[in-house]
A and B are shown apart, each in its own frame.
Chain A
Amino acid sequence: MTISTAPAATPTRAPAPGAPAPQKRRRGGASGSRWVAAAFAAPLLVYLLAFYAYPLIRSIDLSIHDYNVRAFVQGNAEFVGLKNYIDVISSPLFGQAIWNTVVFVVGSLIFQYAIGLALAVFFRNNFRLSGILRALFLVPWLLPLIVSGSTWAWMLNSDNGIVNSVLQTFGIGQINWLTSPDTSMLAVVIANIWLGIPFNLVILYSGLQNISADVYEAASLDGAGPWRQFWSITFPLLRPVSAITLLLGLVYTLKVVDIIWIMTKGGPANSTTTLAIWSYREAFGTGQPDLSPAAAVGNILIVIALIFGFIYLRMQRRQENS
């Protein structure tokens, strides 16, 4: 979606690679059908080259040249090799952006997953209205991120926000959620947790559906209570699904721009500047696009996302083989 992002964190989902079902030889001559298959795939191949490969090559090209606005239009930017990368890595913001990214991703994932799992287990009970209520849980995930982001920004507003006024009734004084560097990260993580719960709930719920009821029956005959059943059956049997949910969530949370940008713009004092936000701000956050360093940050982000992406692919393959 992102879940998006989410929505982003538009968390979306990718079906597994190499769907099973061994292909049968077609009758009409192998070479003929080969061309037919290629013809059906041709639009996709052209599309991938034009709208994935080419933009990516351009972004690498941006990162190894020194592009300013004039060079952009004239196309005569100076080649600087890895200078942009060195500048970025040696910048004092680099360490902070990495740390913020880690806090944002790990903080979001742990709670999205824990709450999603608790809800999935809860909804496994087939009570009245459970289907409808579960469907309603999808709502936050389907809303445009800008909608959720601005709603949370208003709810967490220091003076007039509903969150502070609720806290006040418990005797907790005003918290400057979005304007204090101490709480801004917490604020965006809370919003992002909220956004990620539906994705976790849906995937973990369908994982639970695949655990046979017999196992639970046997366990309750042996006298295992619900708590024991969760730790000895549900959690271990769900482990592969959990791992995939978390890894996917990680890959998608790394990319999140919208929600943080709308709520804090990466501030105050860079306290919510993740790698993705840093890159976005360098490129488009000011009047003057400064694309070369932005592309360098973005490409570093790609490498990090791909490392975890490959871990995901390996895990999925291992699961397929087992």
Chain B
Amino acid sequence: MTARRPWWKTALGIVFTALMLFPVYWMVNVSFTKTQDLRLSPPHIFPVDATLDGYTEVLQQQLPNLGTSLLIGLGCVTLTLVIAAPAGYALALLNLRGGRTLNFVLLVAQMIPGVVMAMGFYAIYVRLGLLNSVGGLILADSTIAVPFGVLLFTAFMSGLPRELLQAARMDGAGAWRTFTSVVLPLSRNSALTVALFAFLWAWSDFVFASTLARNSVLKPVTLGIYSYIGNNTTQWNAIMATAVVASIPAAILLIVAQRYVAAGVTAGAVKD
């Protein structure tokens, strides 16, 4: 069966993929369109007479926002890994009392709507003076990734061969030593998966950014795009250019870490 590979299936697959990715293509196309051509009917299907005006505008106005997003993304990755990896170790390999309850709490935590969390954070940040701060956003954004991270680390670490851990103990390694020199190195792939998702979620976050950092000097790029939509509805080429630039991390991560993405989506969702 596998020896025969009919070409028409490949062709059909390409058609499906093209249909699915059309909006992405359209975003790129519009980002190169001249402002006066935006109102053309019918629009140009290809970027004929392309312009880089949209991108010039992005570079002039959005660079600091991109930097802020990068900072928030990296902050979230660090915070998530620091909290999730040891917790996953405790849940998977040490006899943590109440482990099942903790697992349950983590699952429930993922079901809480972001908008409710945003209100809680807003109420707390008003008092603490953390509104409109990068630190405040890192903390809030990390709540999307931390439960996921712990559950993913737990699932992965419980699959580690126990002999290795016993061997480490024979050699006199304590729990901390075992964690840093045996468990962590072996969990590199799951750490990459967690980091990838933590970064992407923080980079893409709009709900927390728009509620906790709306008047911020340092804006993430999602808010940069949003303020374009609000004030500047005619400049769709600039909006789309920003959108293209804001999508670059996702594109890079997809190319570099494709299998981790699929692993992350399916981790545990389908148990057999």
Contacts and interface: CB of A to CB of B under 8 A. Distances in A.
The judgment on whether A and B are partners is: yes
Contacts of B154: 15, 19
**B contacts with A: majority SS:** helix
A280 B115 contact: yes
A135 B118 CA distance: 33
Given A137-B17, A301-B113, A13 B264 contact: yes
A34 B90 CA distance: 10
A251 B112 CA distance: 9
B105 interface: yes
Contacts of A180: none
Contacts of A7: 204
Contact of B113 (A14, A27, A197, A276): A276
Interface in A27-68: 27, 30, 33-34, 36-38, 40-41, 43-45, 47-48, 51-52, 54-59, 61-62
A147 interface: yes
A99 interface: no
A148 B26 CA distance: 11
A55 B114 CA distance: 11
A199 B250 contact: no
B270 A241 contact: yes
A122 B13 contact: yes
B97 A151 contact: no
A257 B114 contact: yes
Contacts of B159: 21
A30 B20 contact: no
Interface in A198-222: 199, 202-203, 206-207, 210
A283 B35 CA distance: 35
Nearest to A204: B270
Contacts of B187: none
B179 A40 contact: yes
A103 interface: no
A173 B257 CA distance: 44
A202 B116 contact: no
A146 B226 contact: yes
B96 A162 contact: no
Interface stretch (B47-55, B56-64, B120-128): B120-128
| Interface-centre pick from B111, B236, B239 (highest chain A CB count, 10 A) | B111
Given A26-B95, A137-B20, A302-B116, A18 B250 contact: no
Given A13-B268, A257-B114, A289-B122, A139 B251 contact: yes
A122 B14 contact: no
Q: What interface size band does chain B fall in? A: 35 or more
Contacts of A133: 13-14, 16-17
Given A13-B265, A54-B124, A47 B146 contact: yes
Interface string B234-270: 0010011001001100110110001001101111111
A303 B207 CA distance: 20
B135 interface: no
A143 interface: yes
Interface string A239-270: 00100110010010011011001100000000
A127 B113 contact: no
A40 B21 contact: no
Given A48-B109, A142-B250, A144-B250, A125 B9 contact: yes
Contact of A15 (B109, B126, B253, B267): B267
Contacts of B71: none
Interface of B: 2, 5-7, 9-10, 12-14, 16-17, 20-21, 23-24, 26-27, 30, 38-43, 82-84, 86-87, 89-97, 99-100, 102-124, 126-127, 139-140, 142-144, 146-148, 150-152, 154-155, 158-159, 162, 169, 175, 179, 197, 200-201, 203-204, 206-207, 210-211, 214, 222, 225-226, 229, 236, 239-240, 243, 246-247, 250-251, 253-254, 258, 261-262, 264-272
18 contacts: A13-B264, A19-B103, A52-B109, A55-B121, A126-B5, A138-B254, A140-B21, A142-B250, A151-B24, A206-B270, A251-B111, A255-B114, A262-B206, A279-B119, A283-B119, A305-B112, A309-B108, A309-B111
Q: Which 8 A-B pairs have the closest CB atoms?
A: A15-B268, A55-B120, A37-B94, A144-B204, A44-B87, A40-B90, A142-B250, A298-B116
